[in-house]
Structure 1
Amino acid sequence: MASKRNVWLLRIVLFLFALNSISLCVYFASHSKSSASPIPNLPRNYRNPRINRLRFRNKLKSWPILPSYLPWSHPPANTGSCEAYFGNGFSLRLDLISPAADPRGWFRCWYSETLRSSVCEGGNLRMVPERVEVSKGGEMLHQVIGRREEDELPKFQNGAFEVDGGVGFEGPPRRLVDDGFLDRYVPQGEILTHTMRALIGSVRVVAGSGFECQEWIEEPTLLVTRFEYANLFHTVTDWYSAYVSSRVTGLPNRPRLVFVDGHCMTSLEETWKALFSSLRYAKNFSGPVCFRHAILSPLGYETALFKGLTEEINCHGASAHDLWQNPDDRKTARLSEFGEIIRAAFRFPVNRHRVEKPVSGLNVLFVRREDYLAHPRHGGKVESRLSNEEEVFDSLKTWAYNNNSCKINLVNGLFAHMPMKEQVRAIQDASVIIGAHGAGLTHLVSAMPKTVVLEIISSQYRRPHFALIAKWKGLEYHAINLDGSYAKPEIVIDKLSGILRSLAC
């Protein structure tokens, strides 16, 4: 009997080993493809040994192995599906400049009917910084106090960006696209200042004879324009858009990054640098710079994370393993994949499973709102969403200390004065995340699969940001809706006690 049991156990182990090997093969095969529609053949000097040596010295960061990763499908997803909202729904390919017999410049866009936006990419694209009207960008905040927002948003003159028309192009520069194209594939919608639309509108096709550059960037590079760069929620939408753009265009490694805006530095820049291979500002270049492969990332306003605030996106979070076995248009693992990218970027281990109940106790993270100087036009005071936050926190601290059911570690989440890596660590280690409605809760995208969320919502801020993120990640979510902005500590404690009991505490 024991012999038969051992044989069955051996068979099960061998089966699981084979299944894991197949999964890894599929994963690496999908990562090895640069795109379903490969980048056109590049000029011969792209393969010049000297340039290749330079590329080796400036090696790009590789994509990490992620438990929630699923191949970014080609052909792209069905319109209106969860994959179309959160993954690759950019189904319509628009070739604006196709490679000629002696290929030089090229340009194309991938349009999503679901998101009503485009990811565009081009080769031999030149940026002329003097034709981009914007402040320098990248300064320390204290150096630019009082600077106007309009000075930080780019204004593009004609020819701010140019693409090499190749040997067959003659005559004066011409527009790459007309207004009709922009209205159809890069619609302004309700975005008052659509900087990426303006960037594409500035692109001119020029003759190759005058296509000279002071600097060439050989590696794939994301061009990003930002608005509310100091707000975590809006910055996460920009991170997500940049990540999606990288995947849609099939980049084999994490690209370089150029901010085509003039914002100063913030603590959020730490994550940009962790996510991508390098970071520069457009105005930091001293002369014309050419990109062998540039990707134009859509605005964060055009992601599902933002659009879900005004339109219904009926999607639910699920594990990649379940979706691999049972595809479902109404479920997604993309936000979990994105959260793993953030954790891996900071070199945290990305595990498929988590320990349900750590030996050291359950971490309850209280995300706090505190005063800090956010940007040059900010007074340093944040608007209170919970008028007695300190009282609630102190009551929770006393309750946790006296709790005899299990050990509770109440973590004081003063995020405004914590490095971004430590913020992500606190989110990753939390069993329960509690806090008043505020941008800090956007960190839920990096939460572990079984994390429970408790949001305290004042009557003035009944908005669905974090309930939606929890839903799209498949997290258990609870809310306490206040009549005003005052929360009775005993009600918060009672609600939290119930949550902890469900976690066997």
Structure 2
Amino acid sequence: MNKKVQILLFLFIFNSFSLCLYFIHHPSFLNPTPSPNSHIKIFTKDSPFRRPFIEKHKTHILKPWPILPSYSPWSQPSNSTPLRSCEGYFGNGFTRLVEVFSGRAGGGGWFRCWYSETLRSSICEGGRVRMVVERIGMAKGGESLGDVIGRSEDEELPLFDDGAFEVDGGLGFKGGKMVVDEGFLDRYVPRGEIMRHTMRDLIGKMRVVGKKEFSCDKWIEEPTLLVTRFEYANLFHTVTDWYSAYVSSRVTGLPNRPHLIFVDGHCKAPLEETWKALFSSVRYAKNFTGTVCFRHAILSPLGYETALFKGLTEDIFCDGASAQELWRKPDNEKTARISEFGEMIRASFGLPLNLNHVGKPISGGHNVLFVRREDYLAHPRHGGKVESRLTNEAEVFESLKSWAANYKGCKINLVNGLFAHMSMKEQVRAIQDASVIIGAHGAGLTHIVSALPKTVILEIISSQFRRPHFAYIARWKGLEYHAINLDGSYANPETVINALVSIMKSLRC
């Protein structure tokens, strides 16, 4: 049996193992109905517990999980993830299960949260959850950008009335009580530095109602992610939301990719293309009318609570490594999770996963991708002008074009990365095909999460934007990273060329 076959067989076994865990963790839950917020049960993954029953239902077609070369199991029933380990930051650090409510004895719903001590946030989920659309104050969402120019952010961020979301309390439950209190929120969904924590607000206004009050205009039978977004037009911040939604799907053991509903009033943006590729379907809460009930709803934490964002202010010293290396030798200071996530993005767009630079070009020479910053209209409050991070970007590009055409070494294809005018799939493909990615500090470089192993990153950093975003992502993926730090925002083209010459010498033709 050759090595490739062994690896594919190993990945198949791990994926099958994860599917088994999902069904093992969802047997019937026969405990009597407790009062909301009373006798909250706290478990760790070392503790025996039984997940609430999820009703059998006819499943619509959901997208399957792709087989990812860097995939590692997300369920760890035999041991807790070490605090502030790399797996705690980037993988399944959500090891403390807090059972909040179960009305199974009366045929009702359930609600619980998975808490991460490392990230200080929770992934919450519930069964027989109802969304009452008229109790959510926000714009409709999903409109074309041109139709909502000038609309304020306050109109797009949700305001929840009591009972905007409700859990079926089952037979015998009387009155409407809140699912959790402020003490619970402070402990398991802390506000932190987030001034308007929309997911905390959603959970805080959720209540339990009796079965007679629990009527539904529409049922969604399949698992559904509920996501609230802030900076939906900025790639870096949107990647943190993608990552949070991906982690939430894995931690809760979903056997297929869930549906997704935006509980916000933002308009459509180009980044929505990736949301649709990653998940089985995408809709906006306000596009529904009446009441919508979910057999299984998962509440994804804000992107601000992911390690991708927290790494800007916390010291997260994790080095990227291959999943195969970590299977052979586990290491709490290494991670393959960002590589796994990047593969998930590529697979969602149908791009091949069996590519690997290993220091050589894919075909026809080395692609050097120059990620450009362009003026474009991003959201209703954006003037269409992009702040310059490199004042002579065009000059640098033209110099690189001349240098590449006359380079006496490996063949170089200089790729003009005009991302603002490319589809998301085209952008990801350009990243995948690049041996070297160069660009000024800017959100477009966040795409390096999808770069192949052995890709080299060269970031040009002006004095006004000395931020560690992309140096960290490169480190967490195990990519070679170089930076040119400018005194202002002007780059000497010769300095950039010299840096590239040094990089090219390390690549094989």
Higher helix share: 1
* Distance in structure 2 (CA, Å) of the matches to 1:32 and 1:286: 36
> Is contact 1:456–1:480 with CA below 8 Å preserved after alignment?
yes
Q: Is 1:403 equivalent to 2:391 in the alignment?
A: no
Match of 2:332 in 1: 329
CA contact (8 A) 1:454 1:479 kept: yes
Partner Cα distance (1:104, 1:337) in 2: 37
Deviation of 1:349 after TM superposition, in Å, equals 1.2
Identity of aligned residues (%): 68
1:153 corresponds to which residue? 157
Is the CA contact (8 Å cut-off) linking 2:54 and 2:295 kept in structure 1?
A: no
Residue 461 in structure 1 maps to residue 461 in structure 2 = no
Task: Supply the RMSD in Å over aligned alpha carbons.
Answer: 1.8
Name 2:345's counterpart in structure 1: 342
Structure 2: runs of 5+ lacking an equivalent: 30-50
Residue identity opposite 2:507 in structure 1: L
Q: How does 1:239-254 map to 2 (within 5 A)?
A: 239-254=242-257
* Contact 2:106-2:169 at 8 Å conserved across structures: no
AA at the equivalent of 1:69: Y
Q: How far apart, in 1, do the equivalents of 2:503 and 2:144 lie?
A: 43
Matched residue of 1:405: which SS? coil
- The 1-side partners of 2:53 and 2:99 are apart by 22
- The size of the alignment, in residue pairs, is 485
- The aligned runs of 1:57-72 (5 Å cut-off) are 58-72=60-74
Q: In the alignment, which of 195, 200, 225 is matched to residue 222 of structure 1?
A: 225
Please identify runs of 4+ aligned residues in structure 1 that moved more than 3 A. Answer: 13-23, 39-47, 352-355
Q: Is it true that 1:128 corresponds to 2:128 in the alignment?
A: no
**Which structure 2 residues correspond to residues 281-360 of structure 1 after superposition, within 5 A?**
281-351=284-354, 353-354=356-357, 356-360=360-364
In structure 1, stretches of 5+ residues that fail to align are 1-12
- What amino acid does structure 2 have at the position aligned with 1:276? F
The alpha-carbon distance between structure 1 residues 283 and 88, as it changes in their structure 2 partners (threshold 3 A), is: same
Matches for 1:423-462 after TM superposition, within 5 Å: 423-462=427-466
Letter aligned with residue 239 of structure 2: V
Q: What is the distance in 2 between the residues matched to 1:20 and 1:136?
A: 45
Structure 2: distance between partners of 1:285 and 1:473: 39
Is the contact between residue 52 and residue 110 of structure 2 (CA under 8 Å) also seen in structure 1?
no
Which residue in 1 is equivalent to 2:215?
212
Pair 1:189–1:36, CA change in 2 (3 A): farther
2:68 is aligned with what amino acid? L
For 2:467, the aligned partner's letter is: R
Cα distance change of structure 1 residues 480 and 16 upon mapping to structure 2, 3 Å threshold: closer
From 186, 190, 199, the equivalent of 1:196 is 199
1:86-105 alpha-carbon deviations (Å, 9 max, x no partner): 00001111111124334421
Task: Report whether the alignment pairs 1:111 with 2:115.
Answer: yes
Residue among 377, 382, 397 paired with 1:378? 382
Structure 1 position 43, deviation (Å): 11
The answer for the alignment partner of 1:73 in structure 2 is 75
TM, length-normalised to structure 2: 0.92
Tell me, yes or no, if structure 1 residue 415 matches structure 2 residue 419.
yes
Q: What's 1:21 paired with?
A: 9
More displaced stretch, 400-409 vs 250-259: 400-409
SS in 2 for 1:324: helix
Q: Secondary structure at the match of 2:22?
A: coil
8 Å contact kept, 2:52–2:104: no
> What is the Cα deviation at residue 39 of structure 1?
6.4
**Residues of 2 paired with 1:142 and 1:486: CA distance?**
34
Q: Calculate the TM-score normalised by the size of structure 1.
A: 0.93
1:150-189 matches, within 5 Å, as 150-170=154-174, 172-189=175-192
Amino acid in structure 2 at the alignment position of 1:24:
F
Secondary structure (helix, strand or coil) at the match of 1:184 reads helix
Amino acid at match of 1:208: K
Q: Distance in 1 between matches of 2:357 and 2:103?
A: 49
Equivalent residue of 1:33, what SS? helix
